[in-house]
A and B are shown apart, each in its own frame.
Chain A
């Protein structure tokens, strides 16, 4: 039985992870710690577990899930590592590269796993696309095109001090991780258009990235918070890969039916596909239990973050930016 604690409910995905843990036969949600006490107590009640102080929780668990604001990931993850607990951290790994590197180092030193929550790897269409890629069915990779659009999430997401950036940070990392995973390559250069055009907020809310990978593949990515409130679903995660032998296009969240509900006054897309969060959490729990390394590492999180950071720099400077300019791949 893997004992899990959730650290901070600042990120809305914490609720989903809590449900996933409770649904597993080999995991137990031991407790919740949160710097926002009222929120922590409310969530503990909702998920039928205990609210407790951080150190008390760390004593009682094998692993933690960190779902704080991006800029606060390190201050929860590093003490957990020092206490000898494995960490599954919400994406992006951190709000800046320095924090990400500190987290990776701390977990390495403590001999614990640092996993990053990239649930899109568990979407069945994406796993199938990965299998096609690994099987060589598309031939040599030539180009890729991805999207991860969404609604503007509000709250701390739009405050760069807490988030590290807006839409470009929030939504680059999922698809970038998928691209690295499928293409088995690293991004060398990024050009980005970034702007705030859709919402009255502090951070950026739209853009388009163009990336060159070290295997010659070029790719674009749209991370915009461009789905309006009236859109029938929250957004999308899509990835298309062009190879010498064909083209494959995957719509990760595309398995839906259309529901028209007069009480809501509009149409909705209801997803009936496999819940990728379940895949993610089950896989992490299994890795902790068996001792095998979890597939999605802190370095995966760092690589995805680097591309978002390079995108911001590119947009500021109006030119393509080499990722190595960010300083030090160790």
Chain B
């Protein structure tokens, strides 16, 4: 029986707790959050121990696996603390807030010989996995120009930490990093990036970025990350053009279930909710892979180098937008 401790009991933390709990021979034994009420509620769902501090949770001998879902700047220190105590670690993306932090976290996990997997879940989404497979099969020939979009309204969460770009890194580091990881997976290392971006500074501004990446393989990619859209919005797009063909995906076009609910009562508008139901949650797929790596000792398909590279390219894009210059990689 594997004991799981979840540090950070916001949306992702509670979701992961439920997924881990659904696996055979796995129990959620501890939940930690600086907000004691959040920790208590999450713990109550699983008959787990509530903690007000992640370090206390890591000291709990029943915890074999640490699941880190706190705000980004604390990821690296929790990875180190968990590794030091011999816990295997599943950490939400991005792996860290800075490259130095990411390097320390990777070293700590390697030194301790524990499994560390970062939640770059997009690779596990069936449409993205299929696109990658088609690419590898040569369906579009040699890839040349790629475009991704990931768009939502400005996320609202506990303490609005997303809204502080110092904490979250902004839309590029926090959200577009999914597409950045996917593109690196498809096309190999990046050579350089040129980016323009807006940074959230209160309700009259927003987070929005357009990054152009040139890969060493000569592919040109255009990455759009938007927190400029309106509440209720979430959509993603992918297009890859090659010398023999083209593939494109628009999540807005893939709504195979649409439900129009009339509102009860006079005058209140109803709402249409589109769904794209999946047989299996990609989050569950990645967690199952993590557990298999824990048990067998094999490397996760999303490697620590992958997680580092995605963070590096995202940070390079932010730096480019700040300096108004092309930034070449690697950064250090």
What interface size band does chain A fall in? 20 to 34
- Residues in B with CB closer than 8 Å to A96 are none
Contact call A142/B208, Cβ cutoff below 8 A: yes
CB-based nearest A residue for B209: A143
Interface SS, A side? strand
- Residues in B with CB closer than 8 Å to A206 are 144-145, 220, 241
Which 8 pairs show the lowest CB-CB distances between chains A and B? A197-B144, A226-B241, A218-B196, A193-B220, A220-B210, A208-B212, A198-B243, A206-B145
Q: Quick check: which of A4-12, A37-45, A155-163, A241-249 contacts chain B, the rest being far away?
A: A241-249
Interface positions, chain B 192-206, Cβ under 8 Å from A, are 194, 196, 198, 204-206
B85 within 8 A of A: no
Contact call A247/B226, Cβ cutoff below 8 A: yes
B245 within 8 A of A: yes
Nearest CB in chain A: distance from B328 CB, A = 9
- Residues in B with CB closer than 8 Å to A244 are 204-206
Contact call B241/A210, Cβ cutoff below 8 A: no
- Residues in B with CB closer than 8 Å to A149 are 241
Interface positions, chain A 192-226, Cβ under 8 Å from B, are 193, 195, 197-199, 206-208, 210, 212, 218-220, 222, 224, 226
B2 within 8 A of A: no
Nearest CB in chain A: distance from B253 CB, A = 12
Contact call B208/A197, Cβ cutoff below 8 A: no
Nearest CB in chain A: distance from B118 CB, A = 29
Nearest CB in chain A: distance from B196 CB, A = 4
Contact A226-B145, Cβ < 8 Å, known A193-B212, A208-B220:
yes
Contact call A143/B196, Cβ cutoff below 8 A: yes
Complex CA gap A199/B242 in Å reads: 10
- Residues in A with CB closer than 8 Å to B198 are 142-143, 242
Interface positions, chain A 314-330, Cβ under 8 Å from B, are 318-320
Contact call A246/B230, Cβ cutoff below 8 A: yes
Interface positions, chain B 149-163, Cβ under 8 Å from A, are none
User: A-contacting residues of B (Cβ < 8 Å)?
Assistant: 140, 142, 144-145, 147, 194, 196, 198, 204-206, 208, 210, 212, 214, 218-220, 222, 224, 226, 228-230, 241-246, 324-326
Contact call B204/A191, Cβ cutoff below 8 A: no
With A197-B243, A220-B212, A228-B245 known, 17 other A-B pairs at CB within 8 A are A142-B206, A143-B210, A193-B194, A197-B145, A197-B219, A198-B145, A206-B145, A206-B241, A210-B210, A219-B210, A220-B196, A220-B210, A226-B144, A228-B246, A244-B204, A247-B230, A318-B326
Contact call A220/B222, Cβ cutoff below 8 A: yes
- Residues in A with CB closer than 8 Å to B325 are 319-320
Contact call B226/A197, Cβ cutoff below 8 A: no
- Residues in B with CB closer than 8 Å to A231 are 246
Contact call B326/A224, Cβ cutoff below 8 A: no
- Residues in A with CB closer than 8 Å to B224 are 145
- Residues in A with CB closer than 8 Å to B245 are 228, 230
CB-based nearest B residue for A207: B220
Contact call A195/B246, Cβ cutoff below 8 A: no
- Residues in B with CB closer than 8 Å to A22 are none
A101 within 8 A of B: no
Nearest CB in chain B: distance from A88 CB, A = 32
Complex CA gap A224/B146 in Å reads: 11
A227 within 8 A of B: yes
Contact call B241/A320, Cβ cutoff below 8 A: no
Complex CA gap A199/B208 in Å reads: 33
Nearest CB in chain A: distance from B192 CB, A = 8
